[in-house]
Amino acid sequence: MRIAFIPLFCLFALGIYGQREKDGAKSVTGTEVVNEYTTLTADATAGSTVITVSSNNLNANGRFSGALEPGDLVLLIQIQGATINGQLHPTFG
């Protein structure tokens, strides 16, 4: 019985880190843009539960109820192998 309890406890303990719907449910329509972004001030180490960002004011367009706060659920991505064209283009800026 104890052996079955330990994996079950570990599975439920994962939910304490990111607080989904902390500010209420967010329904996104097919045309709604929810992108807001910032950069990290230092590299994030594997397994780290804390990151430091350049700016927590990620609500410039009023898409969320407030600025980024501790406990908010975020998506971190690292783009690699991309070529950036800085020239303006009529379809993407």
| 63 within some domain | yes
pLDDT digit of tens for each residue in the chain (93 aa)? 567 667 766 666 655 555 666 777 777 888 887 778 888 899 888 888 888 888 888 777 777 778 888 777 788 888 788 777 777 777 765
Say if pTM beats, i.e. exceeds, 0.85.
no
Print the domain residue range for 49.
36-77
Instruction: Return d(Cα 21, Cα 38) in angstroms, integer.
Output: 21
> What's the total number of domains in the chain?
1
| 62 within some domain | yes
- Neighbouring CB atoms inside 10 A of 5's CB total 9
